[in-house]
Structure 1
Amino acid sequence: MTLLRLDASIQGDRSASSALADTVVAELTAARPETPVVTRHLGQDPLPADAWALATSAGFVAEAERSAEQRAALDLAAALADEVRAADALVLALPLYNYGVSQHAKAWIDLVTVGFGTGVPALEGKPTVLVTTRGGAFGEGTPREGWDHNTAYLRRILADLWLADLTVVEREFTLVGVNPALDQFAELAAVMAKQAEEDAVAAGRALAAR
């Protein structure tokens, strides 16, 4: 088994999504230490913001007439698709930012789509763990219910379009302890953190058992 791990956090060592992904990968590699792990950190090494537009526009231009920038963008899209194609399983640590999907993750999704071709199920049948975190709370009955435009979008792409065998590990209230306005939710946040850690352990063990 070859694992592709993708991170999109901009938080560095403070990242809650990366910490949970660490747990998933640690459980997998503890059981299967021979597993190669290919990593790509979109938050630390972002993809070029104009690459998708260049790669897409290249499709409307004769190959001989494509610019050097268009060719480079197509090469990047192909390389990203090849990484996905070569992986037997994936761990994707993609937090919510500004109520939606990270720009880093969106750039990757768009370029992988170009690399495979629109409508191609890029992850068909592949076990994929999506780790996603949210600074606040967005569940039923909360003031921000319905404001999470990240998780549903990622489910649509990964499971419904790309046909991944998807497991989702989620954690909310990651800003408790950081934002004093959320101090009143410390007990609830601790419960959520514990549950997310347990879910990450279970996801890693399930990957190892594949």
Structure 2
Amino acid sequence: MATLLHLDSSLFPADGSASRAVTAAFRKAWEEQHPDGTVVYRDLAATPLPHLEAAGFTAAFSAPEDLTPEQRAAFAQRLELVEELEQADAVVLGAPMYNFTIPSTVKAWLDHVIIMNRTTGDESTLKGKPLTVVTSRGGSYAPGTPRAGFDYVQNYLEAVLGTMFGMEVDFIVPELTMAPTNPAMADLIPLYEASRDKAFQEAADKAKALATRLAA
């Protein structure tokens, strides 16, 4: 049976986080298709990874027999994260927009799993692996909106996950999530509700379609 790697990074619990709610809906639909399958869960906000330091970085470019004890320990954690990603058949990542970009916890995870000539390049071990990103945002940064050029989430993740890793990247984007709590956005509540409903439907549809495809 297929394995799903489920990553969350929102600072808020599920009842206060659009990205967590949608990744949970994706997981639920996946599990309905794979009741005997495996879900590996990692909460990058609750248990943040340390930032990549020199020992872990340089270890990736050194022969195993030349590593110092510090390098071995740092690289062991990187390998654990890489193998977790490699062993998954599909990935769902919750990456809300914070200050126009991804949470720092997601960046830390990426820095660990980017290993040149293993997870990157033409022979990437992640090539073709499907990954669904749920990227919620308080406003709208869709093409044609005033702040379209301020979206440094989708373009960055497409560059790393799609171009560097060669993964099959898909996005679900619940937006205008601040409308219900920001009086200045009250007129946008219907658009927020439509975006939220669309995101939940997409999560269910994409998870079921992906599970069916991988089971074929």
Answer yes or no: same fold by TM over 0.5: yes
Query: Which residue pairs with 1:156 in the alignment?
Result: 159
* Identical-pair percentage: 36
Correspondence 1:4-153 to 2 at 5 A: 4-13=5-14, 14-49=16-51, 51-59=52-60, 64=66, 66-68=68-70, 70-114=71-115, 116=118, 118-119=120-121, 121-153=124-156
| 3-state SS in 2 of match to 1:146 | helix
Q: List, as ranges, runs of 4+ consecutive aligned residues in structure 1 with deviation greater than 4 Å.
A: 59-65
1:155 positional shift: 1.2
Aligned CA RMSD, in angstroms, stands at: 2.0
- C-alpha separation in 2, matches of 1:176 and 1:158: 30
Q: Write out per-residue CA displacement over residues 43-84 of structure 1, whole angstroms, 9 at most, x where no aligned residue.
A: 1110012x344311345677556252x332211110000101
- C-alpha separation in 1, matches of 2:168 and 2:91: 10
Quickly say closer, same or farther: Cα 1:88–1:131, change in 2 above 3 A.
same
- C-alpha separation in 2, matches of 1:201 and 1:152: 24
The count of aligned residue pairs is: 208
- C-alpha separation in 2, matches of 1:6 and 1:76: 17
TM-score calculated relative to the size of structure 2: 0.88
| 3-state SS in 2 of match to 1:129 | strand
Q: Which runs of 5+ in 1 are unaligned?
A: none
1:106 positional shift: 0.9
- C-alpha separation in 2, matches of 1:99 and 1:75: 32
| 3-state SS in 1 of match to 2:114 | helix
Query: Which residue pairs with 1:207 in the alignment?
Result: 210
Confirm or deny that 1:195 pairs with 2:205.
Answer: no
Q: Write out per-residue CA displacement over residues 151-181 of structure 1, whole angstroms, 9 at most, x where no aligned residue.
A: 1111122222212222211111111112222
Confirm or deny that 1:184 pairs with 2:206.
Answer: no
Q: Which shows bigger deviation, 190-199 or 175-184?
A: 175-184
Quickly say closer, same or farther: Cα 1:166–1:117, change in 2 above 3 A.
closer
1:203 positional shift: 0.9
Checking the alignment, whether the CA contact within 8 Å between 2:137 and 2:175 is kept in structure 1 is yes
Amino acid at match of 1:102: P
Checking the alignment, whether the CA contact within 8 Å between 1:84 and 1:122 is kept in structure 2 is no
1:110 positional shift: 1.1
Q: Write out per-residue CA displacement over residues 186-205 of structure 1, whole angstroms, 9 at most, x where no aligned residue.
A: 11111111111111111111
- C-alpha separation in 2, matches of 1:12 and 1:54: 33
